Amino acid sequence: MGTEIERKFLLQHEGWRQHVKSTTHMIQGYLSVNPEATVRIRIAGDSAFLTLKGKRTHFSAAEFEYPVPVEDAREILKHMCVCEPIEKRRHIVEHRGHMWEIDEFLGANVGLYIAEIELESADTPFDRPEWLGKEVSLDQRYSNSSLVQTPYITWEIDHEG
């Protein structure tokens, strides 16, 4: 069984931008947003993937990901998603031996930036970059499957990390 162990953080400032190694445009939609098992289709650059994720327990969740033809993914996004897709730019930043994925959300989630790090285990140590803000790993509102249902721009909170 595949398992994803990740931690998520808001950002304090844009100091990470000077360290970006690559950027990929992504669009993803959900065929199921059930917290017990989400099903996502994603186009990332010139590739596409179907991903099934189990219920998140603390920092981990079962995850299975399969490549699909990009044209099939476009049709699935167009006709089968339960909500409007999410659009974002994923920036890859290396910091002290760890790769960080910084998602810069667009569209209805514009203004939201989330830094994610995937770890070997939930207690794997890592150095916190100075641009990291508040940890939101356990706040379900920041999951992509929640953001398609309740976009960031509709939140009635202070949008600070």
Sort 13 into a burial class: Cβ within 10 Å, 0-12 / 13-18 / 19+.
exposed
| 37-44 and 47-54 beta bridge pairing | antiparallel
Residue type, 10: L
What is the three-state SS of 75-111? HHHHHCCCCCCEEEEEEEEEECCEEEEEEEECHHHCC
Nearest to 44 by CA among 74, 19, 64, 14: 74
What's the pTM value of the predicted model, to 2 decimals?
0.90
Structural domain containing residue 46: 3-154
Q: How many CB atoms lie within 10 A of CB 33?
A: 18
At which residue do the structure tokens 């760890």 appear? Answer: 98
Tell me the percentage of the chain whose pLDDT exceeds 70.
Answer: 96
Predicted local confidence at residue 44, as pLDDT: 98
Is 30 annotated in the active site? yes
Distance CA 127, CA 143 (A): 23
Which residues are 54's β-sheet partners?
37
Cα–Cα distance measured from residue 75 to residue 66, given in angstroms and rounded to the nearest whole number? 16
Residue 35 included in any domain: yes
| 52 within some domain | yes
Mean pLDDT of 62-72: 95
Catalytic: which of 30, 113, 142, 152? 30
* Residue 65 within any structural domain of the chain: yes
| Residue 127 located in a structural domain | yes
Q: Is residue 97 part of a domain?
A: yes
Render pLDDT for 14-38 as a digit per residue (tens, 0 to 9). 999 999 999 999 999 999 998 889 9
State the DSSP H helix or E strand holding residue 156, giving kind and residue range, or none if neither. none
Q: What is the CATH number of the domain that holds 16?
A: 2.40.320.10
The pLDDT assigned to 158 comes to: 54
Is residue 160 situated within a structural domain?
no
Between the ranges 37-41, 61-65, 118-122, where is the mean pLDDT highest? 37-41
Which pLDDT belongs to residue 161?
Answer: 47
Phi, psi of 144 (to 5 degrees): -60, -35
Domains in the chain: how many in total? Answer: 1
Q: What's the rounded Cα separation, in Å, for the pair 53 and 62?
A: 6
Indicate if the pLDDT at residue 53 is higher than 80: yes
Find the mean pLDDT for residues 55-66.
Answer: 83
Please report whether residue 125 resides in a domain: yes
Beta bridge partners of 89: 25, 104
| Residue 13, domain member (yes or no) | yes
